[in-house]
């Protein structure tokens, strides 16, 4: 591809936005068809079921790791200048932010990217949660919550460079990263075979992870061919959510960017996936779905994502695929936080049966608890 010609004709912002739109279309479509979801994977893990939901996430994650590390090893990609590695980071922000994000994603029944996918499928609970997530992310970035974010981030920091590169700390390089990715991919395929997958979960899970890797490759190509300074960047949803909020409310003339193109791309791709699968359905609140739960969860995710430096895709998969220490701490926090929320909120200790009821039955007028 002649990236230089595109930049000369359209300019860097437009090229980045179109690239974000196209990669977002792929991520949204394949993520919807494969049911890619970190929350669902976390719940399966803590329930010790190790089924298709865990396998989908693990296949997507391992595909991103393998593709990125292979490109680095072949000299096609250089991520050393990525902010997740080159700049100063916060270990306290990564861990605490990941914990808060994990709590929130269980409460809202989806991470930031999953909320966008579900919104395009007609889920009004996800739409409301996504809007609150965006407002909280912006408030944490430069609003009323920013001082709290900055205070927590200052507790434990790490310099950029080798100190923030997990592969460097392990004494390895992209070959080690590629080997680890292949091990995780083998585990994903084992769980996949055991759970009896169909085509879309196999192909869709791998393609979802590939979109994350291609985002790194695309922005790197723009950076190396650009006439202006351009920061290499990967796929994330917390920052772009805040960007879109400000663009709609106050900064309509803000220059286009990769993230601004990504968001509508994911929405349209997921909508197409839902229509292809005949899964579009208008859903609201009712029964076990309570609005306060979703509101609180979205606030925790919005603040947690900005504290951690990214969402489940941005910090977890994008940062994880280049082995940023903070990204891996964030991932650990998300898995632990999700397990805590599932235990305390979705799996409370069973209460004694009400008078006049038979153990194991549901009293008249009480709706059975929904499965995660």
- pLDDT of 253: 76
Residues composing the chain:
372
Residue 287 pLDDT class (50, 70, 90 cuts): low
CA distance 315 to 319: 5
Tokens matching residue 44: 């399966």
| pLDDT greater than 70 at residue 211 | yes
Q: Average pLDDT in the 229-251 region?
A: 87
Q: Is 84 contained in some domain?
A: yes
Query: Within a 10 A sphere around the Cβ of 136, how many other Cβ atoms?
Result: 26
Q: Is 127 contained in some domain?
A: yes
Task: Report DSSP letters for 237-295, one per residue.
Answer: SHHHHHHHHHHHHT-TTPPP-HHHHHHHHHHHHHHHHHHHTT----B--BTTB-HHHHH
Domain assignment of residue 215, given as a range: 10-346
Region of poorest pLDDT, from 218-222, 283-287, 364-368: 364-368
Q: Is 234 contained in some domain?
A: yes
Residue 371 pLDDT class (50, 70, 90 cuts): very low
Burial of 125 (0-12, 13-18, 19+ CB in 10 A): buried
CA distance 189 to 54: 11
> Could you give the number of structural domains in the chain?
1
Q: Is 323 contained in some domain?
A: yes
Give the mean pLDDT of the chain: 88
Q: Is 365 contained in some domain?
A: no
326-360, pLDDT tens digit by residue?
A: 999 999 999 999 999 999 988 764 433 333 333 34
| pLDDT greater than 70 at residue 141 | yes
Q: Is 247 contained in some domain?
A: yes
Who wins on pLDDT, 4 or 208?
A: 208
294-324, pLDDT tens digit by residue?
A: 999 999 999 999 999 999 999 999 999 999 9
CA 139 to chain centre: 20
CA distance 91 to 84: 12
Locate all alpha helices (DSSP H) within the chain, ordered by sequence. Answer: 3-10, 12-34, 38-46, 52-73, 83-86, 91-107, 112-120, 124-142, 146-153, 166-169, 174-195, 199-225, 238-249, 258-276, 291-308, 319-321, 325-341
Q: Is 231 contained in some domain?
A: yes
Q: Average pLDDT in the 11-31 region?
A: 94
């Amino acid at each position: 591809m002649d990236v230089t010609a595109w930049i000369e004709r359209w300019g860097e912002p437009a090229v980045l936005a179109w690239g974000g739109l196209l990669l977002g279309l792929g991520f949204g479509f394949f993520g919807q068809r494969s049911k890619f979801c970190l929350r669902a994977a976390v719940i399966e893990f803590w329930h010790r079921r190790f089924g298709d939901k865990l396998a989908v996430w693990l296949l997507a994650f391992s595909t991103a790791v393998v593709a990125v590390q292979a490109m680095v090893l072949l000299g096609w990609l250089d991520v050393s200048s990525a902010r997740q590695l080159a700049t100063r980071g916060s270990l306290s922000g990564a861990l605490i932010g990941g914990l808060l994000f994990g709590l929130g994603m269980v409460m809202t029944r989806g991470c930031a990217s999953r909320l966008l996918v579900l919104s395009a499928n007609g889920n009004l609970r996800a739409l409301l949660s996504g809007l609150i997530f965006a407002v909280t992310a912006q408030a944490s970035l430069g609003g009323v919550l920013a001082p709290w974010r900055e205070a927590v981030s200052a507790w434990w920091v790490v310099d950029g460079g080798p100190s923030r590169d997990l592969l460097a700390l392990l004494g390895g390089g992209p070959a080690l990263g590629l080997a680890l990715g292949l091990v995780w991919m083998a585990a994903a395929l084992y769980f996949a075979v055991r759970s009896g997958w169909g085509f879309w979960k196999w192909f869709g899970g791998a393609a979802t992870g590939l979109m994350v890797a291609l985002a790194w490759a695309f922005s790197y190509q723009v950076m190396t061919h650009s006439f202006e300074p351009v920061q290499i960047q990967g796929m994330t949803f917390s920052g772009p959510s805040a960007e879109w909020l400000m663009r709609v409310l106050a900064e309509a003339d803000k220059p286009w960017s990769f993230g601004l193109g990504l968001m509508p791309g994911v929405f349209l791709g997921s909508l197409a996936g839902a229509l292809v699968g005949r899964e579009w359905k208008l859903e609201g609140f009712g029964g076990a779905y309570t609005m306060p739960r979703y509101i609180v969860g979205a606030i925790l995710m919005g603040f947690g994502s900005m504290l951690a430096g990214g969402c489940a895709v941005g910090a977890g998969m994008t940062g994880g695929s280049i082995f940023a220490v903070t990204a891996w701490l964030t991932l650990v926090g998300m898995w632990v936080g999700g397990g805590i929320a599932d235990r305390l909120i979705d799996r409370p200790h069973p209460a004694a049966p009400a008078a006049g009821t038979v153990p194991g039955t549901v009293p008249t007028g009480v709706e059975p608890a929904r499965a995660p």
